[in-house]
Amino acid sequence: MKSVLITGCNRGIGLGLVKEILKLPKPPKHLFATCRDPQKAPELQQLATEHSSLHILQIDLNNFTKYGGFVKSIDDIVKEEGLNLLINNAGIATKSTRINMVKDTDMISSFVTNTVAPVMLSKAFLPLLKKASAFQPDAPLGVSRACIVNISSILASNAKNVEGGVIAYRASKAALNSATKSMSIDLKDSKIITIALHPGWVKTSMGGSNAPLDVDYSTKSIVQTLLTLNDTHNGGFYQYDGKELPW
């Protein structure tokens, strides 16, 4: 893959994905890492001093009016080669509540960041993803051609929900999964793969210290899984190691 964009890279899984992608034997020519406040991303800044391919871009993903200019700034760099891989990683988890306690404000903020932002960002990047796909008309489908990865959660799975609660987060990620499925069908003819991916329960500020996986393990596995994606994966829901998950 020549170019990759990952959202939410100042910490957690986003930062881990940046590190793993930079370690690849053939890292991309351009790796775009977004964060809300680059001044508060010292590790990412340090990596950018060591890797000229790493571009740090500032964007608050809840600010949809900025998407046009943001995409243009990337288009100016990648030009006719387009964008091969978009990883919608940024997300929030509001307080985990049951129906008697759930707040409208938590429902709304969860949907804005976890569902609306990845869908609208994918829409904004469609011209660049289509360009990347058309640039290599004979390449097999996958991350080297054109691909959207929506970072979801096992908590989005209705089949796996036996404990209830966590209403705002579960619903926002389940809605993202639903959008992922539609996108995979809508973009099939453009030879763009779209998947939903659960990173595992990972030790980050969201996952907490009791999580069984560390960021390095999760993100190393995710990157290996992404490299194996092909047309059979389009529209699927997978976990970090490639195992398919029930909706």
For binding to ligand NDP (CB under 6 A), which residues are involved? 8, 10-14, 35-36, 60-62, 89-92, 113, 151, 153, 198-199, 201-202, 204-207, 211
Closer to ligand NDP by Cβ: residue 10 or 84: 10
In angstroms, rounded to a whole number, what is the distance separating the alpha carbons of residues 226 and 238? 10
Least distance from ligand NDP to the Cβ atom of residue 106, Å? 14
Least distance from ligand NDP to the Cβ atom of residue 130, Å? 24
Torsion sign, CA atoms 221, 243, 132, 121: negative
Least distance from ligand NDP to the Cβ atom of residue 51, Å? 19
Exposure letters 27-36 (e unless 16+ CB within 10 A, then b): bbebbbbbbb
Closer to ligand NDP by Cβ: residue 28 or 199: 199
For residue 57, what are the CA distances in angstroms to 74, 81, 117, 147, 151?
9, 19, 16, 20, 19
In angstroms, rounded to a whole number, what is the distance separating the alpha carbons of residues 38 and 8? 11
In angstroms, rounded to a whole number, what is the distance separating the alpha carbons of residues 43 and 40? 9
Closer to ligand NDP by Cβ: residue 96 or 136: 96
Least distance from ligand NDP to the Cβ atom of residue 25, Å? 25
Closer to ligand NDP by Cβ: residue 62 or 224: 62
